[in-house]
Amino acid sequence: MKNSIVKIKIYSTYSFSILLLTFVSILGAGCEKEISVDLKQAPPRHVIEARLISGKQQFKVYVSQSGSYFNSPKIRYLENAKVTLFEISPEGEVKTFPCTLYTQLDTAAFYSPAIEVEGKTGYTYRLRVEIENQIYEAEGMIRRVPSLQALTYQLNEETNILREKGYYYITLMAQEPPGTGDYYRFRFYRNGILFNNPEDWEIAEDRYVDGKFIIWSPARLKFSKGDTATVEICSIDQITYKYILGLRTLLLGQGNPFSPVPTNPINNFRNLNLNGKPPLGFFFVEGVEKASVVIQ
């Protein structure tokens, strides 16, 4: 049997890379095709947004209409709605606040009652909006709030994986009341301006901290000397917790091949008309414990 001689041609790394790049370029050019996608436009939906907290406040209700994602950057507020707030005591007594004042500002418009509303712990608040032959309602109860014991700050002197050198970071201390089933969200302000990016929306449940003393220092929030740091601990119900969680996941979880199909998050509004669709938006009802500290 004769020995076989196999001749092998060896390319340099540079030459092989040029050949491979040329082949890929030709292949890619041959596969290009312009595709025109006909995106269907969803019909406009009513949008209702309101927040009622414990204590005295000017209660505001924003009523608008959804528009095209591509064509309408400005929100269209609606001024022909009938808006009513109902306060229901634990004994079932009902007090009515007609929201008859319509205020138009440069960037927003809202309905409000002629007098201040005082949110009370243990009371249920129902919001009704009647517009264009639709009747929408949502309600929630102001729940107990953890006692905010202290709000402190500390200068970070060394840069690490979480924090920058030279900035101050706050620490809040609170007593979580005993009894499971409580849900919270935390709102942080710097000089009166809310940290309101989706990654700043902090929510929690008391499943693992029930009745415990809580010490928490958010690593993302940095302050400088002279700043005023403010924290709100807000008691919320389960549906509000799920709404914020779903909205945050929708806004932060997109952009990769494994992201779920985007859908509107759940809300707490219902349509009283048979077979009518609920609006978009949410009615927040929250007990609030608040504290501020000046960084010195």
As to burial, measured by CB atoms within 10 angstroms (0-12 exposed, 13-18 middle, 19+ buried), residue 283 is buried
**Domain locations in the chain as residue ranges:** 46-144+267-287
pLDDT of residue 265: 78
Tens digit of pLDDT per residue, the chain (296 long)?
Answer: 444 333 333 334 444 444 444 444 444 555 566 666 656 667 889 999 999 999 999 999 999 999 776 666 688 999 999 999 999 999 999 999 999 999 999 999 999 999 999 999 999 999 999 999 999 999 999 999 999 999 999 999 999 988 999 999 999 999 999 999 999 999 999 999 999 999 999 999 999 999 999 999 999 999 999 999 999 999 999 999 999 999 998 888 765 666 666 677 789 999 999 889 999 999 999 999 999 999 99
C-alpha to C-alpha distance for 66 and 277, rounded to whole angstroms = 14
C-alpha to C-alpha distance for 94 and 124, rounded to whole angstroms = 10
pLDDT of residue 289: 96
pLDDT of residue 10: 38
The two tokens of residue 70 are 């591509």
C-alpha to C-alpha distance for 290 and 147, rounded to whole angstroms = 9
Closest CA to 53 of 135, 140, 128, 114: 140
pTM here is 0.82
Closest CA to 223 of 185, 192, 258, 266: 192
CATH class label, 46-144+267-287: mainly beta
pLDDT of residue 252: 85
Q: Is the separation of the CB atoms in 24 and 258 below 8 Å?
A: no
pLDDT of residue 20: 42
